[in-house]
């Protein structure tokens, strides 16, 4: 009888060990899957920031542009030199991107690779909305790098500021909020490559 009990005990011990090994294996597998899941989640969040499909916040700079007050109606000069143009906004956005800005908005219009900045009469169309000055540009990134790029004497904006008095106010901020892109993101020609 005692050998039968030992046999049963051995049988249950082997089953218990197999169960424990199986549980450890499944746990390790889940840790691997959780690691992969966490990595995919991190990559998705980065892509959402790049695409502009999520609100973001962080340190950076806030730039406010206004038309010049130096223009006189009696002047023989062209008034066009004294107003903020779409090209001014494009120069600033390019400078901010080159200085490492991670997210940019103009008048709370989030910019992404599909964004357009285009003159429309005396207004400027940003994405699908039209705006007049002042233009408030927010950029999230290293505040010192962004500010020094914008204050460079070779900067197109500073040249227009010095020549025509375009209003330029640059402030560093520890907490900037930039809303997500409001438009539709549709691709007509670009398709993902499948392997």
Place of tokens 């994405």: 127
Q: Are residues 164 and 73 in the same domain?
A: yes
Residue 119 lies in a domain: yes
Tokens for 183?
A: 């438009």
Pair 109, 62 in one domain: yes
Kindly tell me if the per-residue pLDDT of 32 is higher than 90. Answer: no
Same domain? 107 vs 41: no
Q: Does residue 185 lie within any of the structural domains?
A: no
Q: Is residue 194 included in any domain, yes or no?
A: no
> Could you tell me if residue 191 is inside a domain?
no
User: What torsion, rounded to 10 degrees, do the Cα atoms 137, 47, 35, 33 define?
Assistant: 150
The tokens for 83 are 């107003």
Read off the pLDDT of each residue in 56-83 and give the average, rounded to a whole number. 83
Enclosing domain of residue 6? 1-51
Same domain, 82 and 96: yes
For 126-180, write each residue's pLDDT tens digit: 999 999 999 999 999 999 999 999 998 788 888 888 888 899 999 999 999 999 9
**80 & 156 share domain:** yes
Taking only the tens place, the pLDDT of each residue in 10-21 is: 556 566 566 665
Residue 129 confidence (pLDDT): 94
Between the CA of residue 155 and those of 70, 83, 86, 149, 171, what are the distances in Å?
21, 17, 16, 8, 17
Q: Does residue 34 register a pLDDT over 80?
A: no
Enumerate the β-bridge partners of residue 117: 126
The encoded tokens of residue 24 equal 């450890």
Tell me what pLDDT residue 26 has.
64
Domain assignment of residue 164, yes or no: yes
Tokens of 121: 């009469």
pLDDT in tens, 77-92: 677 888 899 999 999 9
Report the domain count for the chain: 2
């Amino acid at each position: 009888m005692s050998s039968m009990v030992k046999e049963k005990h051995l049988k249950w011990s082997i089953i218990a060990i197999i169960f424990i090994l199986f549980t450890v294996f499944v746990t390790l597998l889940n840790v691997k899957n959780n690691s992969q899941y966490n990595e995919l989640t991190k990559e998705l969040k980065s892509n959402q920031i790049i695409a502009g499909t999520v609100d973001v916040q962080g340190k950076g700079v806030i730039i406010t542009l206004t038309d010049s007050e130096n223009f006189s109606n009696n002047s023989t000069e062209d008034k066009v030199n004294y107003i903020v143009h779409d090209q001014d906004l494009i120069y600033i956005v390019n400078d901010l991107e080159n200085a490492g800005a991670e997210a940019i908005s103009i008048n709370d219009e989030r910019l992404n690779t599909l964004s357009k900045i285009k003159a429309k009469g005396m207004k400027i169309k940003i994405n699908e909305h039209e705006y007049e000055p002042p233009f408030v540009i927010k950029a999230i990134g290293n505040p010192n790098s962004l500010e020094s790029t914008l204050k460079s004497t070779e900067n197109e904006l500073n040249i227009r500021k010095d020549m025509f008095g375009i209003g330029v106010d640059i402030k560093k901020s520890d907490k900037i909020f930039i809303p997500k892109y409001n438009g539709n993101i549709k691709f007509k020609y670009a398709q993902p490559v499948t392997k």
